Amino acid sequence: MPRLDSLQITPEILGLITGIDEFKGAWRAPGTLAPDRLLALRRVATIESIGSSTGDEREVAGYAEVMELVFSSWADMPLTENRIRQLHRDLLIHSEKDACHRGNYKSAGNSAAAFDESGQPRGVVFETATPFNTPRLMTELVSWFNEERAAGRVHPLLLIGIWIVVFLEIRPFQNGNGRLSRVLTTLLLLQAGYAYVPYSSLEGAIEQSKEACYLAMRQTQGTVRTDAPNWQPWLEFFLRALDQQMRRLERKIEREKLVLATLPCLSLQILEFAREHGRITMGHAIRLTGSNRNTLKQHFRALVEHGHLVRRGGGRGSWYEHR
């Protein structure tokens, strides 16, 4: 089981946790943006994530499906070995080359190698767990996490960060460990109350500093099995990535609010009704606002031109859908 005796809470770590938790506390999804805008942000974040995490179309499809499953069902997904294997199976469900091992722990070594600029391996960076030891180590790791989470002795972000880096040090599956680790990170963050994570890509934040990610991971992983693991390099990187994820979302929300803030009050009334009910007609708008038809026509025209509404039908039978 991971040893926490050597865990040091540096000022940087404390500051990052404080900032992320303040954002978490301020996040109120229903009141932050309308459901359709949040859904649009989630779609963009998912696209960014799969673009940063996978290669071929089969991997993209599997990753997107598993992430949607986590977004919709995280509350009913306790962290167990069976759940981890199921997520791995679903992650690689469309990959024929992985059919023989998906959902099963590795049966051959998969030590981490370094590569030169041409993509050729240039030696082993560190030895991962052997196939023989993997089931035992995974049982210990899952049990440790659930016990520590229940006890509440360690801040959830630190606990998740440590769990993920040890998971990657074991590398329990023959392939797909990196992608699965990011799925599991999202799952554990949602379960810890970080409800905003589906709306901003963590992978996108990590992608901007890949070399720093690998360096921090290797620095920590090389010490995991010692009496004094050095958690700081990885935790500092992990928390910086979470901070970047949060700040990217913060900027997106501010841009959304800025767009809405420029709309006239009458246009906002029309738009909010269309969001709530899915559509709005001229008759609805007259009853809602008390304004005359000619004034409302100008607002509808502007909302359509700026992409907020889509006109359907024709003449007096037309209606407007929220985009």
pLDDT tens readout for residues 279-313:
899 988 888 888 899 999 999 999 998 888 999 98
In this prediction, residue 322 has a pLDDT band, given cuts at 50, 70 and 90, of confident
Q: How many CB atoms lie within 10 A of CB 208?
A: 12
Is the pLDDT assigned to residue 183 strictly greater than 60?
A: yes
Helix ranges restricted to H, the chain: 11-26, 29-32, 35-53, 57-73, 81-91, 134-151, 156-170, 177-191, 202-207, 210-221, 232-261, 265-277, 282-289, 293-305
Closest by CA to 17, choosing from 281, 235, 219, 270, is 235
Q: Under CATH, which architecture does the 263-322 domain have? A: Orthogonal Bundle (1.10)
What pLDDT was estimated at residue 121?
Answer: 47
What pLDDT was estimated at residue 119?
Answer: 45
Where do the CATH 1.10.10.10 domains begin and end in the chain?
A: 263-322
pLDDT above 70 covers a percentage of the chain that reads 90
At 226 the three-state DSSP class reads coil
Tokens for 146? 């659930």
Residues 6+ apart with CB under 8 A from 120: none
Contact predicate 266/193, CB 8 Å: no
At 112 the three-state DSSP class reads strand
Where do the CATH 1.10.3290.10 domains begin and end in the chain?
A: 11-112+124-258
pLDDT digits (tens, 9 = 90+) for 84-138: 999 999 999 998 888 899 999 999 887 765 444 444 544 445 688 999 999 999 9
Question: What is the model's pTM?
Answer: 0.79
Is the pLDDT assigned to residue 64 strictly greater than 70?
A: yes
Q: Which amino acid is at 204?
A: G
At 171 the three-state DSSP class reads coil
CATH, domain range 11-112+124-258: 1.10.3290.10
